[in-house]
Amino acid sequence: MQLCAAELIGALFKTHTQFVGKIVSTLRTDTLNAAFSSKIQKRMKFGLFVLDDMVEHLGPNYFAAEDYQTIVQTVCMFANNKSASLRQASAYGIGVIAEHGGQSFAAHSEHCLKALDEAIKFQMSGKVHEKKEKSTQFHHARDNAIASLGKVLFYQKALIQSNKPIYDQLAQTWVGLLPITHDIEEAQLQFEFLGNFVSQESAVLFTADPQAGVNQVVKILAEAFQEKYFTEKNKTPMANAVKYLNTQANAQFMAACQQAGMDDDLRAHINDAFNFQG
Amino acid sequence: MKDKFAKYLPFVLPSIFSMATLNPQMGVAGQADIHALSDVLNEIKPENADNKKTSIVTDEIEEKEVAIQMLSVFIDELGDSFFEFVQQTQTVMLSLTNFANNDSIRTTCVSALPGLLKAVKSKHGTVDDQIRGLARDYNANIYKAMKEETETECLCSQVSAMKEILLETGPGFLSEAEVQELGDSALRIIEKSLNRIKELDDMKEEEQEDEDDELD
């Protein structure tokens, strides 16, 4: 019920930004404080949903700098929470902060990246592993953290590229963690990012160890180029990435298609991508 | 199939509308007459019953529900091809968002309203005054139904329908006062939800205490 109400509030933020001042004020002074101090998972999840909507629809300029910082820190605080649904909401929120934070992200990037690192490295416990539902929730949380790392690279490209070692490290980490396969919606966007990334930023992926880089990218694209991941926007970039590798690194590309783990189905996906005419 | 199917709607819909507008009746043993279901249920409801609505299933209600679900699927699947039937369908749906005797019917009807708005929007190609007028009527109807609603799932569907309608109509649909009112409603829903959770927790604690007493 609270999440339904949170969605309604989010829709008001999105469509009537200029009129929501009092609602934002009530939320910040009463409702959210109560939610987060309750330590009750469902209430904290509601709180994170509202904060994610505030960042997405109202943006950093709506708030005083220190208030926005509090919002970002609150979102990040749950990235290593033992509750998978809170980790997921937090990780998703960090992606939203990267996407909608604009230049203000620079002030929070370190904090956000550290939080994402913790979310990605969060270990699955034996109890979670035993229960399918819990295990699925765990993977969704992790997928969202990986996806948000991709969003930082994509939406905050200029900022991250200004520090080459960090850029190289983040890009390689992100590609090393793909493909994500549980949160299909997030996967679809990440595969679009990757398709563009391979064509536009090949140096960062393939300079240190070209064969390993191509192997990993081919493995991801082979998983990604199938119906359940397709959107209107991601087929062409993925197909272009396959064609790019075939042209620019043919020997490595051919070897990658024969690497361990690539079966006939996966090779067929690569073939489909290669023959795709957008 | 969309348009290929839509051409059959004039032949299919009349019987579905008459099923959807069935007025279920019921009799009480020992009395000769049968009456509208809601009247009978009000008669036989214990005086000390709480405010919760009674959800029942009879053959007629089941038939009514199936018809409404079919309408709902047509709306979602056919989009602007359903435009011609929006007027008649909304009359049915709006009259049943507070249907006292079955929560599933209330939920399906309210959830269908954004789809009707989408069908009109898709036909018009833009959000115009007619769509804003429809959206206002729908929201007013939902808002009224929400005040009487006792089932959490229905309330959730009502709030979601309002959200969908808001997103369909977009910026400029509501005045500042209306935004404030809707925001306050959302906050009240949250408050109520928290109170319900607290009540349930308290009840659990009381039950636990009772069990402990027995052990003593």
Q: Which domain does B57 fall in, by range?
A: 3-173
Strand partners, B26: B35
Whole-number Å distance between alpha carbons of A98 and A241: 25
Indicate the number of domains in chain A.
Answer: 2
B65 and B134 belong to one structural domain = yes
pLDDT at residue number A10: 96
A128 and A201 belong to one structural domain = no
pLDDT at residue number B58: 76
Taking only Cα atoms into account, the Rg of chain A, rounded to an integer number of angstroms, comes to 20
pLDDT over threshold 70, residue B50: no
Name the residue of chain A whose CA is nearest to B162's CA.
A8
| Residues of chain B contacting residue A41, judged by C-beta atoms under 8 Å apart | none
Domain boundary among A154, A177, A200: A177
How do residues B116-143 score in pLDDT, each as one tens digit?
Answer: 999 999 999 999 999 999 999 999 999 9
Indicate the number of domains in chain B.
Answer: 2
pLDDT at residue number A236: 96
pLDDT over threshold 90, residue A86: yes
Per-residue confidence at B36, pLDDT binned at 50, 70, 90?
low
Closest chain A C-alpha to B173 CA, distance in angstroms: 8
pLDDT at residue number B210: 63
pLDDT over threshold 70, residue B48: no
Closest chain B C-alpha to A8 CA, distance in angstroms: 5
pLDDT at residue number A50: 96
Q: Which of A105-119, A134-148, B124-138, B191-205 has the lowest mean pLDDT?
A: B191-205
Average pLDDT, integer, range B72-80: 93
How do residues A225-277 score in pLDDT, each as one tens digit?
Answer: 999 999 999 999 999 999 999 999 999 999 999 999 999 999 999 999 999 99
pLDDT at residue number B27: 60
B50 and B109 belong to one structural domain = yes
| Residues of chain B contacting residue A4, judged by C-beta atoms under 8 Å apart | 155-156, 159-160, 163, 189
Whole-number Å distance between alpha carbons of A138 and B34: 56
| Residues of chain A contacting residue B179, judged by C-beta atoms under 8 Å apart | 12, 16, 19-20, 23
One-letter-per-residue 3-state SS of chain B: CCHHHHCCHHHHHHHHHHHHCCCCEEECCCCCCEEEHHHHHHHHCCCCCCCCCCCCCCHHHHHHHHHHHHHHHHHHHHHHHHHHHHHHHHHHHHHHCCCCCCHHHHHHHHHHHHHHHHHHHHHHCCCCHHHHHHHHHHHHHHHHHHHHCCCHHHHHHHHHHHHHHHHHHCCCCCCHHHHHHHHHHHHHHHHHHHHHHHHHHHHHHHHHHHHHHHHC
pLDDT over threshold 80, residue B43: no
Instruction: Write down the mean pLDDT value for chain A.
Output: 95
- Backbone angles phi and psi of A114, in degrees to 5: -65, -45
Q: Which domain does A92 fall in, by range?
A: 1-177
Residue written as token pair 């490295």: A121
Beta-carbon separation of B174 and A14 below 8 A: no
B122 and B194 belong to one structural domain = no
Beta-carbon separation of B193 and A1 below 8 A: yes
Whole-number Å distance between alpha carbons of A85 and B102: 33
Instruction: Write down the mean pLDDT value for chain B.
Output: 85
Name the residue of chain B whose CA is nearest to A1's CA.
B156
- In terms of pLDDT, which residue wins out, B101 or A139? A139
Considering the entire predicted model, what is its pTM? 0.84
Strand partners, B27: B34
Give percent of chain A with pLDDT exceeding 70: 100
pLDDT at residue number B215: 54
Q: Which of A5, A16, A43 sits opposite B186 (nearest CB)?
A: A5
A47 and A152 belong to one structural domain = yes
A21 and A128 belong to one structural domain = yes
Contact map slice: A 1-60 vs B, CB within 8 A: 1-2, 4-12, 14-16, 19-20, 22-23, 26-27, 31, 40, 42-43, 46
B11 and B25 belong to one structural domain = yes
Average pLDDT, integer, range B155-176: 94
Whole-number Å distance between alpha carbons of A156 and A150: 10
Beta-carbon separation of B187 and A19 below 8 A: no
Average pLDDT, integer, range A40-67: 94
pLDDT at residue number A151: 98
pLDDT over threshold 60, residue B216: no
Average pLDDT, integer, range A8-27: 96
Distances (CA, A) of A141 to A138, A144, A145, A225: 5, 5, 6, 23
A102 and A193 belong to one structural domain = no
Q: Which of B155, B179, B193 sits opposite A16 (nearest CB)?
A: B179
